[in-house]
Chain A
Amino acid sequence: MKKKNHMNRREVMAGMSALVASPRLMSNQDLIVKSHNIDLSDPVQNALAYTKLIGTTARSMVHIYYKGTIYGMTPEDGAKPMIGHTGVLKGVWKPWVDNSFYYTLYDVGYFSDLETGLPSEEFTNPFTGEINRPVKIIGGPFDRVIKPEVRPFKVRGDELWLDEPAYLNFVNKLDPKIWKKASTAERLSFLYVETYHGKISDIANPDLTSAPMTITSTHNTSWYPFFLMGQRPGRHYWQSVGKKVDDLERDVPIELINFIEKEKPGYFESEKPWIKRKGTFQAYKDERTPIKD
């Protein structure tokens, strides 16, 4: 196992990085029960709750494991599973000005064989029958500021969750006139819905800077370029489940840890694993050449 420093990886996962010593993630079952209150209608407390749920209020790092399946859907053939995917998101967090928080997000993982779950070098596209070669999953750095505002958390008993939809419509990096099989259109349309789930008792606990969290993530997007669907009607539905990592070896499959440490050595420990922004569409453009019909 490669390491760039002498930090214990378990400590890194629990937010005890070199940045700051923050408490290990604990569920409310581990705590002495105290009376805590949080007012989610207050923008400042709401931002604090949001940050604690998806990241950390301390100057520290948070990792999120995810695993899921991509389904394609066309008018002729309906829905079919296409390929699996798995990875680890890294958020590098710090408190910011005016009761805000700032974080930088990275993503590393792989597209996986539907049967074995192992990295897929190529697979047969169930709609075209052609062999597709996926790129590796890589993303970031993406910067974001969490400002005080009232987000519509749902609270039932001690359960708390938040649906966070995002609608994106932007110019495709792959010109469809040039990338005839990899590009679906001049513009891409994405709908992301992330649902973060935790416990209100953890969020309200002042002894915790980061609360245990699980995530369900669904994306409705234009076809990934490596599916080589051209301008065929349809889209794909991207589904994953995951959680904030507390203990790397316990929470993340060893195959994924090994893959990430081989592809991006020091990813788990580093506050800045790379500098230039990367993305799946950009990676395809950088690594591949247009395919003729």
Chain B
Amino acid sequence: MMDRRDLITGQFNRDSLDLSDPIQSSYAYAKLVGSAGNAMVHYSLEGTIFALLPDGVQPFIRFQALLKGVWKRKDQGDYQFRLYEVGFFHNLDSSEPIEVFDNPITNETNVLTGIKGGPYNRVIRPKNLDWVISGDDIWIQEPVPLSGYFGSELSNSQIKQNAFSNAIFRGKLSELSDQSLIAPSMMTYNYISPWYPFFGIDDVDTKIYWQAVGNKIQSRSDLPQPMKEYLGEKQRNYFKSSNPWTKKTSTLSHFRDFQKRNSK
């Protein structure tokens, strides 16, 4: 059996995990989702936004995102990470970033901003997790109910709306049990949200569904070419930097800032 002290101190010498043990479970989580050591981890995601309309579903726009997690192993089996995201929207039939979008629902032209979020800080403490295991395959999911204001500007008359995100990570049990600190992982990201303000659809009764898939990448060369070019133009130091920006933002905040700048 794995010695808990070894886990806490990062000294690993075993070939199987006991996921009913909170410390080992959190170790496996850190290794699958990010890193069980001090490291930067990136996920390259590609996805589609679907419009969930009363008369059916419609594919609406596509997007690419690059997530960055800056992981640190702490004492007592804790892990800490700081998450960032950048990305762009693109048309359904092309992978090139767009800033002007011909909205097929309103038939109007929308001015878009990029996807930008973080830093979001989080601490992972030892606890039992709801793993799904089948043979050597293993999954963990992270459902998060959300509530907030999704409108274009912050005001006193904000109406809160609900959203829901779910991230699913998949790996191999054998790879979580080996001596490396980072395991390969596939990520599926789902997000049901109100319309984001830059799409110009002020309808609280319908939602959009963000669906994206990607994997933990090992180097910048693994990125899709449009993302490489986008980073080169918009976020030159993003991939290398462990602290690409300091002020906390989100895609919504980023858009609101953009609106403020343009209204002056």
Measured CB to CB, the closest approach of chain A to B213, in angstroms, equals: 5
Instruction: Specify which chain B residues have a CB less than 8 angstroms from the CB of A197 in the assembled complex.
Output: 170, 186
A108 within 8 A of B: no
Partner of B168, one of A233, A235, A239: A239
Instruction: Specify which chain A residues have a CB less than 8 angstroms from the CB of B209 in the assembled complex.
Output: 191, 220
Instruction: Specify which chain A residues have a CB less than 8 angstroms from the CB of B170 in the assembled complex.
Output: 197, 214, 216, 241
Interface residues of A in 55-83 (CB under 8 A from B): 65, 67, 69, 71, 73-75, 77-81
Bitwise interface map of B from 40 to 63 toward A, beta carbon under 8 Å scored 1, else 0: 000010111010101111110000
Check A220–B145 contact: CB distance below 8 A. Answer: no
Q: How far is the CA of A138 from the CA of B121 in the complex (A)?
A: 43
Check A67–B132 contact: CB distance below 8 A. Answer: yes
Most buried by B among A79, A197, A251: A79
Stretch of A35-43, A46-54, A156-164, A277-285 with 4 or more beta carbons under 8 angstroms from chain B: A156-164
A23 within 8 A of B: no
B204 within 8 A of A: yes
B interface bracket (residues with beta carbon within 8 Å of A): 35 or more
Count residues of chain A with CB under 8 A from any CB of chain B: 44
Q: How far is the CA of A241 from the CA of B211 in the complex (A)?
A: 15
Check B211–A247 contact: CB distance below 8 A. Answer: no
Instruction: Specify which chain A residues have a CB less than 8 angstroms from the CB of B146 in the assembled complex.
Output: 78
A252 within 8 A of B: yes
Number of A-B contacts (CB under 8 A): 115
Q: How far is the CA of A187 from the CA of B222 in the complex (A)?
A: 44
Query: Can you name the residue of chain B whose Cβ is closest to the Cβ of A188?
Result: B56
A218 within 8 A of B: yes
Check A193–B211 contact: CB distance below 8 A. Answer: yes
Check B188–A216 contact: CB distance below 8 A. Answer: yes
Partner of B143, one of A79, A154, A169, A191: A79
Most buried by A among B58, B147, B209: B209
Q: How far is the CA of A216 from the CA of B190 in the complex (A)?
A: 11
Measured CB to CB, the closest approach of chain A to B162, in angstroms, equals: 4
Query: Can you name the residue of chain B whose Cβ is closest to the Cβ of A80?
Result: B145
Check B57–A239 contact: CB distance below 8 A. Answer: no
Check B192–A241 contact: CB distance below 8 A. Answer: no
Partner of B135, one of A80, A159, A220, A247: A247
Check A154–B166 contact: CB distance below 8 A. Answer: no
The majority secondary structure among interface residues of chain A is: strand
Partner of A246, one of B132, B135, B217: B135
Instruction: Specify which chain A residues have a CB less than 8 angstroms from the CB of B47 in the assembled complex.
Output: 163
Partner of B192, one of A73, A163, A189, A195: A73
Instruction: Specify which chain B residues have a CB less than 8 angstroms from the CB of A67 in the assembled complex.
Output: 132, 134
Instruction: Specify which chain A residues have a CB less than 8 angstroms from the CB of B186 in the assembled complex.
Output: 159, 161, 197, 214, 216
Instruction: Specify which chain A residues have a CB less than 8 angstroms from the CB of B147 in the assembled complex.
Output: 78
Check A78–B52 contact: CB distance below 8 A. Answer: no
Q: How far is the CA of A235 from the CA of B147 in the complex (A)?
A: 17
Measured CB to CB, the closest approach of chain B to A266, in angstroms, equals: 23
Bitwise interface map of B from 181 to 223 toward A, beta carbon under 8 Å scored 1, else 0: 0000010101010000000000011000101010101000010
Instruction: Specify which chain B residues have a CB less than 8 angstroms from the CB of A288 in the assembled complex.
Output: none
Given contacts A73-B162, A237-B166, A239-B168, contact A167 B56 (CB under 8 A): yes
Q: How far is the CA of A163 from the CA of B147 in the complex (A)?
A: 28
Check A79–B135 contact: CB distance below 8 A. Answer: no
Check B50–A239 contact: CB distance below 8 A. Answer: no
Query: Can you name the residue of chain A whose Cβ is closest to the Cβ of B141?
Result: A239
Given contacts A163-B48, A169-B56, A218-B211, contact A78 B188 (CB under 8 A): no
Check B50–A79 contact: CB distance below 8 A. Answer: no
Instruction: Specify which chain B residues have a CB less than 8 angstroms from the CB of A81 in the assembled complex.
Output: 143
A165 within 8 A of B: yes
Q: List 11 A-B contacts (CB under 8 A).
A: A75-B204, A78-B146, A156-B44, A161-B186, A218-B166, A218-B188, A237-B190, A239-B141, A241-B132, A241-B141, A250-B135
Given contacts A67-B132, A191-B52, A216-B186, 16 further A-B contacts (CB under 8 A): A69-B143, A74-B162, A75-B205, A78-B146, A78-B162, A78-B164, A79-B143, A79-B145, A156-B222, A159-B186, A163-B211, A167-B58, A189-B52, A216-B213, A239-B143, A251-B134
* Chain A residues within 8 Å of B, Cβ to Cβ: 65, 67, 69, 71, 73-75, 77-81, 154, 156-157, 159, 161, 163, 165, 167, 169, 187, 189-191, 193, 195, 197, 214, 216, 218, 220, 233, 235, 237, 239, 241-243, 246-247, 250-252
Listed from nearest, the 3 A-B pairs whose CB atoms lie closest are A79-B164, A78-B162, A169-B56
